[in-house]
Structure 1
Amino acid sequence: MKSWILNTLTVLVSILVTFAIAEVLLRTLYPKYEYAADARFQADSLRITTRPPNARRTVHHPDTRAPHLVIYNNHGMRQHRDFGLHDLKDATNVGFFGDSYMENMGLPGPYSFTEPLDYLLNRSGRDFNVLNFGQSGYGTDQSFLAYKHADLSATLDQVFYVFCINDIRNIYENDLFYLNQGGELQRNPALATPWWIKLISRLHLTYLLQDGYNRVRPRKNDWEGLDARILQEKHADKHVRKRMRSDRAKSVGSSIREGTDNPDVTRSLAVFQALLEKWQTLAAVNGARFYVVLLPTGNGSLVKEFIPDNIPVIDLYARFAATTPGYDYKDWHFENDRHWAEAANRLAAATLYRDIAEQAELDALPASRVDQLLYTYYSAFDLGWMPAAQAEPVNRNDGELKRIADRYAELDAAPAPGD
């Protein structure tokens, strides 16, 4: 009996040592899964992941495959510059919330529209900060909770929620909120993630195995990017597990696009509307104005009637179409990805600049001057893309270019934590 116990313990210890060595080697020699394993679960908001502050990884452009850094700053936001309270004090602070269209991982950080927008606004002589709170995979519910719990929310003067059509499906999948019989928005009880799920969600070996499984049977699991959020959600709650990426969830998206009746869509849209109203109220309490931004894909029109009349809406599809002859979104997204590419982010910065300048009571710059300034902005970076050359010459001031690079790529040149 004693011999059997010792043999069993020896085998178990050998297995644990083997797994530990494999985990260390994987982290050291093949850190592909670092991003997923490092994603954090925000304890007071079930099924809300947050990016770890001061983290970085290398991502490849969807079309060119050129590598670029994805850096999360001191607040876990996908911006290549840090924010301190001293930066936000006595400045006009503008926050953008949303999903992967906001996080913009396919682009180098300075190309995400928040950065050239920040540059344009600061040409006014007043201090502005444009903050990007975007998180890939978020729905309206998660973006709302991100605003509610972000430690910088109270500093924001203007709050923009960038809506993606998938956000309605996410509301159904996550099931974070419901409406009671009186039509009031209610939060579903938070269920703790089991300890063993938290543990395996931190192991690179977990994602190596999942990656191998996906390659062998790709149709059995359709989630991509090895996102730790999915791993934790799928095991935290049977109720959520059944909804996540299910056929009913997929039908929510298809029903919205096709305009067909679907009770899941009806309930999700009612929650969507209630979330926007709640968000606007919360922003007002914090002294901020709240806006909804519709992406230039054209899908935003499918839910436009559900956005409360008292919430300002900025429809980028309509704006782009009004200023771009023959506008078609297919010409503005990546060839290998439906997310907006560099030129669309540039146009979004120029478009949103006018709305924010008006709200902040700035004298908006003429369009020709905006084009010149943006050309100067992009000239500060050697990241593989430039807008079309301007008809009027642009004065390339090396000092100005250095100031741009120092601000918007501050963390690119900084060593990674622990180096």
Structure 2
Amino acid sequence: MMSPMVSATGIAMLLLGGAHGHMVMNSPAPYSLDIQPLLQVDPISGGLYPYPCHNQYGFTHRTAVEAGGATLVNFTGGGQHGGGSCQFSITYDEPANGGDWNKSAEFKTIYSIIGGCPAVFTDESHNLAPVAVDQNRRQDGKHCGNDSGVDCIRQFMVPIPKFLKNGPATFAWTWFNKLGNKEMYMNCAPIEITGGTSDETEMKNLPNIFVANSPNDPEVPNCITGTRADNVVVNFPEPGKYGRVLQAPVEPMNKPSGYCTQIPAAQSPPTFEPDPPFTVAKIKQAGPAATTPTPPVEDTTSPTLGHSVNQPITETANTTTTSTADRSMTRSPPPIIVPTTLSTTISEVSTINLSVTPTPTPTAIPAPAVAVAAAAAMANKPNGKAVACASNGALVCLDDGTFGLCDWGWLTPQRVAEGTECKEGKIVKRDGGGEDS
């Protein structure tokens, strides 16, 4: 694959422009997240941003993912483009011995989200105001801490199929934005699957991810989902068995030449099966097992970097030159964004279903010192019985006879006293009387 060097001016433009806009998956930790130039925030388009995975494959850590469990997917970024539709996939086709990604690599869909990914807006004509930057000075907006907040960046628990083959693999997030130029974004993360199977039989039966809006790359089949003037929520042609419809699909008002004709009509959204239950022992905090994250810092860069909340969403043509990144550089792990409103309900002693408590008002980003302490605690599970929780200090009812006190992301289940039960975050008498002190 040809890789001519980009000029110093081109690199500077990348670092000052692309690095600060759009979205990047920060959990699970993607390939080359902290290796310059910071390409992953830009859409797939050939040249600098080839399909798949921007041809990035530098890493020092594979995120541990257990088949039959789930992984937390979170994002950083200043350009949310009104949200859109996302897919999450797995592939075993990885570059070998430092080679390039094969464009025929098969990314098999494990979860699809129609609309509302990675955000929903009150004012769709503007992106979120930047409130922080990460350690690479990528702009970041306010985080919801759940998958239902409005005017904040959402996060999602993605079920990992039990039948996946054990061993090294790649987890991918692909996103088709709602507003602005119709693009395809893609981030890929190295993972290590455990607790699964020894073959790929069922995996091969999963649908391939949807690929579109990938111009300037003759090796990748291409179609477009709409024009810049269209409000579009992509209805995936093959969404798979599991997923969610968070917003109704929306088609272009006038389908342009080259439109993806395989996209189903907006009036026919998919019907997904309920998410499979995740066993308690297999809920995994995404990201490295033990890290000290860099806290958000105040963004003192020029307001022209990225997308300002006071500016309408605009796009420019993508650069199509190609660059070689220094893949020998050591990269540090990304910040861990701690969930703030995920609630947990135990349906059996050994299994739980995750649900999200709606939050009409977006949760404020915690102070840096609090975020660091919380993230460090979340990264270290205190014991085998501990269950992930959201609100530090809160009393959490796991069922009516079991509770726990949330201690920086973890709680240890305890039985309530005889004659009492746990209801709505309180220990009360079984006859419904006052709170047990």
Normalised TM-score (structure 1): 0.26
- The structure richer in helix per residue is 1
- The structure richer in strand per residue is 2
Structure number with greater Rg is 1
